[in-house]
Structure 1
Amino acid sequence: MRALSPFSSARWLAIWLCALFLANPASAHEIRPAALELTEQADGNVAVIWKQPVLSGRKLRMRPILPAQCAPPDQTSQEFTGTATIESWQTTCRLDQGEIRIEGLEQTLTDVFVRLHFADGRKQTRLLRPASTAFSLDATGGNSPASAYLRNGAEHMLFGWDHLLFVLGLLLLTPLRKILWVISAFTAGHSLTLAITALGLFRLPSAPVELLIALSIFFLAVEVVRKQAGKTSLSIRQPWMVAAGFGLLHGLGFAGALADIGLPKGQEIWALLLFNLGVEIGQILFVAAVLSGYWLISRLPLDQQKWLARPALYLVGSMGAYFTMTRIFI
């Protein structure tokens, strides 16, 4: 395998860094969902909780618009958790007429889970998206909670660039015959911490978790360079150990996204399993796309190292370094 020339390395690195700094630094997690919960009380009041993600220290420009017959709140309390803001208030309202809309949702990449708790014990779940920002309270039924959690898990994987970059790094580090075993180890790792954290058994602050995830991406890029230079290490000899170990970290990141919407009471295990299944579907789709691209290019009279492996390595390394710097200094 040919070594990279200093000029070629500098040229590719400059291209990637320019693209990175022109990109939105918060794009790795813009897919985090928001949640709106309305609880109807016997006295006619409705308790409202509005939770939305914070990106680079700023709230998304969206807010819930309740039916016109709802009285404006006298007082609103607000809490900042580090990754989200939680606003709560009381209003006099009815949950059987009018429309609920999320203003500004159409300008984001996120979803909003809406949960309605009626005074008679009934519950209803709705999923609002950028293409469908409102629903009528007069209509019966709602979205399937199962499909909502499944879809959100898949989207968090497919739009979570840090998780995708880590998987891409694993594919670059791992011989083709071992890929299934290594990806399975990564799945086992992140599934374990996702379950433990989502069920409230263990929790870490999001800031160090996000930083360590970024470092894991950069670490993989370094190990790939060492492997191409003919060196060896535990990571190069046993990539499944790296996949499983760092998978534990990435599971904490997935749990952060799931915590944004919460687990429905009485259905925690099912919601967790569906979200995790969605993550796995997204992961399988990504791995299949990468391997299909590799297979297609291998059938063409092209230098695979120049046109596929090398650009992918620069992408993983430069993005890993970029995410690390932004999570330290921003």
Structure 2
Amino acid sequence: MKRLINLIMLVMLVSCGDTIAHEIRPAYLQIQETQPTVYNIMWKVPSNGNRVIDIQPKFDEKFTLSSLGHYTALEGFVVYRYTLNGEHSLSGTGVSITNLGSTTIDTLVTVKLMDGSSHTLLIQPKHNFVRIPATHSSWKVAVTYAVLGIEHILLGIDHLLFVLALLLIVRGFKTLIKTITAFTVAHSITLAGVALGYFSLPPTPVEVLIALSIMLVCVEAVRQRRGVSSIATQWPWLIAFAFGLLHGFGFAGAILDIGLPQTDAPIALLFFNVGVELGQIAFVVTLLCIGNLVKKVRLLPKHVAISASYLIGSLSSFWVFERLFITFQ
């Protein structure tokens, strides 16, 4: 496991620049047919304070998009409402988002038609166009939510730093597998429970506790290298499971922002979680590969692991106080 520890500092030097540690939330476009060729449009755009991202849906030129003249400000979003009119059905026509290529956010599109069919689609900055299918596809829903899950974990720096912190206290490959599995099982439980409405926690305190969980694991990593043993270092999988339950609330907050399609909610939830796990596995495997390289070339100093513990712990401590300040504003 030393080869894993040897690369932490390099990764941290790249990661610590983003002190906000929030994943980039997608925009959300809801299209619902209320009369033949008449549609209600809800356009939910991410915001940062008073700044709203300047993007807007664009439909086929045969359709007319009319604003209803009002908007609603939510936490982290602004919601606009429109009506869309045309002479033909939207099925088979395309949708794009103006200025999306100049951003780094995705747009989730849900379409509900009067014939009972529904569609879930994903528009990305590099692929700024989708065509509304003529038939429903559950597979398309699965792929869309898997991609969103992968992006959520890979852009959620605080979740990745928690995994890094766990690696600092893990000894041996078997323990690593048990620890990652425990984290996966735990956050899957709370993710599903919150998404399906069985329980919930306020998002802001959850973010504070997530930052605190990273800091506490880093403290144990430092203590371990000073010869002090604890439950966390002897059974890291137990700590991974306990804090994994907490991180699941963070993952659930993302999927609640996105929303679940009514007709394919179980599929969407399952594959969002699958995407999170694929992203997490890719992250750990990347660390293993880089670790082998670092071990061969011996680029890093001997005590880089304890330095990484202090760096991650300091960053997470900053997040704790930053998020507490936001909570009590």
Which band: TM-score by shorter chain?
0.7 to 0.9
The structure 2 residue matched to 1:105, chosen from 96, 100, 112, is 100
| Distance in 2 of aligned mates of 1:290 and 1:281 | 14
* Equivalent residues of 1:76, 1:89 under 8 A apart: no
Gaps of 5+ in 2: 1-8
**1:70 corresponds to which of 64, 75, 86:** 64
1:154 partnered with 2:147: no
Task: Extract structure 1 runs of 4+ deviating beyond 6 A.
Answer: none
* Residue 99 of structure 1, CA deviation: 4.5
Number of the residue aligned with 1:235 = 232
1:105-140 CA distances to partner (integer Å, 9 max, x unpaired)?
222222111112222222222210011223356x75
Distance 2:184 2:316 in 1: 20
Q: Does 1:172 align with 2:168?
A: yes
Q: Map 1:26-37; keep pairs closer than 5 Å.
A: 26=20, 28-30=22-24, 32-37=25-30
Pick one of 246, 252, 255 that aligns with 2:252: 255
| Paired position in structure 2 for 1:88 | 81
Alignment of 1:286-297 (within 5 A): 286-297=283-294
Aligned AA (1:313):
S
TM-score for the superposition, normalised by structure 1: 0.83
CA distance in 2, matches of 1:219, 1:251: 18
Q: Deviations over 1:13-51 (max 9, x none)?
A: xx969x95xx45445312x22210110112653111122
Q: CA deviation at 1:162?
A: 0.7
Residue aligning to 1:145: 141
Q: 1:162 to 1:120 in 2, by over 3 A?
A: same
Which residues of structure 1 form unaligned runs of 5+?
1-11
Residues of 1 paired with 2:276 and 2:167: CA distance?
A: 18
Counterpart residue number, 1:61: 54
Q: What is the SS of the residue equivalent to 2:287?
A: helix
Q: What is the CA-CA distance between 1:65 and the residue it aligns to?
A: 3.1
Change (3 A) 1:305 1:108: farther
CA shift for structure 1 position 182: 1.1
Contact 1:16 1:315 in 2 (8 A): no
- Kept after mapping to 1: 8 A contact 2:26/2:105: yes
Aligned to 1:45: 38
Q: Which residue of 1 aligns with 2:192?
A: 195
Specify the SS of the correspondent of 1:326: helix
Letter in structure 2 aligned against 1:250: H
Q: Secondary structure at the match of 2:22?
A: helix
Q: 1:301 to 1:41 in 2, by over 3 A?
A: closer
Letter of the structure 2 residue corresponding to residue 121 of structure 1:
G
1:126 equivalent in structure 2: 121
Q: 1:266 to 1:43 in 2, by over 3 A?
A: closer
Letter in 2 for 1:161: I
- The answer to whether the Cα contact below 8 Å between 1:52 and 1:260 also exists between their aligned partners in 2 is no
Distance in 1 separating the partners of 2:211 and 2:105: 22
Change (3 A) 1:329 1:16: farther
1:131 is paired with a residue whose SS is coil
CA distance in 1, matches of 2:167, 2:65: 55
Give the TM-score of the pair, scaled to structure 2.
Answer: 0.83
* Superposition deviation, residue 97 in structure 1: 7.5
Q: How does 1:201-220 map to 2 (within 5 A)?
A: 201-220=198-217
Residue 222 of structure 2 aligns with which residue?
225
Q: Distance in 1 between matches of 2:214 and 2:102?
A: 30
RMSD over aligned CA atoms reads 2.8
Alignment-derived partner of residue 324 in structure 2: 328
Aligned length: 310
Secondary structure, aligned partner of 1:61: coil
CA distance in 1, matches of 2:283, 2:298: 25
* 1:167 shift after superposition: 0.3
Q: Amino acid of the residue matched to residue 164 of structure 2?
A: L
Matches of 1:315 and 1:28, distance apart in 2:
18
Q: CA deviation at 1:155?
A: 1.5
1:184–1:195 CA distance, 2 compared to 1 (3 A): same
